[in-house]
Amino acid sequence: MNGLYKTCIVGYGYMGEIRKRTIEKHPLLTLAGICDANPDIRAKITDCPTYARYEDLLGRDVDVVFVCTPNSYSPEICIKSMDRGMHVFCEKPPGRNVQDVNDIIAAEKKNGKAKLMFGFNHRFHPGVMRAKAVISTGKLGTIINIRGLYGKSGGVNFRNSWRNQKEISGGGILLDQGIHMLDLFRYFCGDFELVKSFLSNSFWNFDVEDNAYVILMNKKGQNAFFHSSATMWKHTFRIDITLENGYIIVEGLLSKTGSYGREKIIIGRREFEDQTEAVGNPSEEVTYFDKDLSWDLEVSEFVKCIDENIPVGNSNSEDALRVMEIIEKAYENAR
């Protein structure tokens, strides 16, 4: 252990608040300041220094920066932070497009000692971690295909969210929420080369999509399909993984509000009709999860990389680039 790392947060919205709680719990991190352009938000923060301009915060003696800003601002803050020798944890999406990510990666390479990690916390959800562990044993064989469903309920203020303003976000529900599902597809199967998509704006009339339907295939012949939606009228998360000898379903998602339902994993083993009394209904193992440690686990992994000076493995810049390349292909295919 090399000691405490002075840490700051740039952007104090929903994710900034989550990161603050995580930073305060970690034994190697100490919160040195929070930056937000909104004076009303700064006025509510009483337990640490606040700043209106992130440049003023970066001018301090800071080791680690958590970038929790809208997509259009994240690349510049990441780059300037690494140029000053700071380690960076950036929320997803890593920018509005592939070029944004390439710019960040160029700064990462230029500043070789700086650690860079992106907030793909779904990899650290207990259902996903259990699925990954089961698949890694090989007992269910290799993956044949994956299906995903990820939806939002909308809401009174949804129409006015910056996430639905193309100039700031760069895209709609595909980039905002679908990126998590695509990252999990890559986490389980590796890269996908073929991308087909259909995007629609059937209800909200944004200048970005409110529904995305994406079909993928990789060189191993594995297929994947997902639907990301802002018109589902309830928060929904489900991923179905079909393997040679069975299947895995992760459904529900532990969250602050609990609106996605109780997180669980279902594991079934292949049984043909002549092998079971319950024709077509193989026995299943169901496990429920009630504690979300994903935020703490991913930050702990990030801090370990800093403290032990080892490369970032999970949710690194390569992961961010590859998933953004898939998203860019999906937008191009839809056009």
Q: pLDDT digits over 195-221, tens only?
A: 999 999 989 988 999 999 999 999 999
This prediction has a pTM of 0.94
What is the structure's pLDDT at 10?
A: 98
Q: Where are the domains of the chain?
A: 5-120+299-311, 122-295+324-334
Residue 45 and residue 253: Cα distance in Å, rounded?
A: 29
Mean pLDDT over 302-317 rounds to 97
Q: Model confidence over 62-89: pLDDT tens digits?
A: 999 999 999 999 999 999 999 999 999 9
3-state SS of the chain? CCCCEEEEEECCCHHHHHHHHHHHHCCCEEEEEEECCCHHHHHCCCCCCEECCHHHHHCCCCCEEEECCCCCCHHHHHHHHHHCCCEEEEECCCCCCHHHHHHHHHHHHHCCCCCEEEECHHHHCHHHHHHHHHHHHCCCCCEEEEEEEEECCCCCCHHHCHHHCHHHHCCCHHHHHHHHHHHHHHHHHCCCCEEEEEEECCCCCCCCCCEEEEEEECCCCCEEEEEEECCCCCCEEEEEEEECCEEEEEECCCCCCCCCCCEEEEEEECCCHHHCCCCCCCCEEEEEECCCCHHHHHHHHHHHHHHCCCCCCCCCHHHHHHHHHHHHHHHHHHC
- Please state, in angstroms and rounded to a whole number, the distance separating the CA atoms of residues 230 and 174: 10
Q: What pLDDT sits at residue 69?
A: 97
d(CA 256, CA 299): 17
Query: From residue 163, how far is each of 69, 95, 98, 107 by CA, in Å?
Result: 11, 12, 18, 26
Q: Is the pLDDT of residue 159 over 90?
A: no
pLDDT value of residue 157: 82
CB 253 within 8 A of CB 126: no
Q: In DSSP terms, which residues pair with 67 in a beta bridge? A: 10, 90
The verdict on domain 122-295+324-334 having CATH code 3.40.50.300 is no
The mean pLDDT of the chain is 94
Q: What is the pLDDT of residue 278?
A: 55
Average pLDDT over residues 146-159: 88
The per-residue pLDDT for 292 is: 93
For the segment 243-298, what is each residue's pLDDT rounded down to a tens digit? 999 999 999 999 877 889 999 999 999 886 666 565 667 889 999 999 999 999 99
Per-residue pLDDT at 11: 97
Which of the four pLDDT bands, split at 50, 70 and 90, describes residue 2? low
Backbone angles phi, psi at 299, to 5 degrees: -70, -40
pLDDT tens per residue, range 47-61: 999 999 999 988 888
pLDDT at 36 over 80: yes
Cα separation, 99 vs 103, whole angstroms: 6
What does the block give as tokens for 317?
């810049």
- Secondary-structure class of domain 5-120+299-311 per CATH: alpha beta
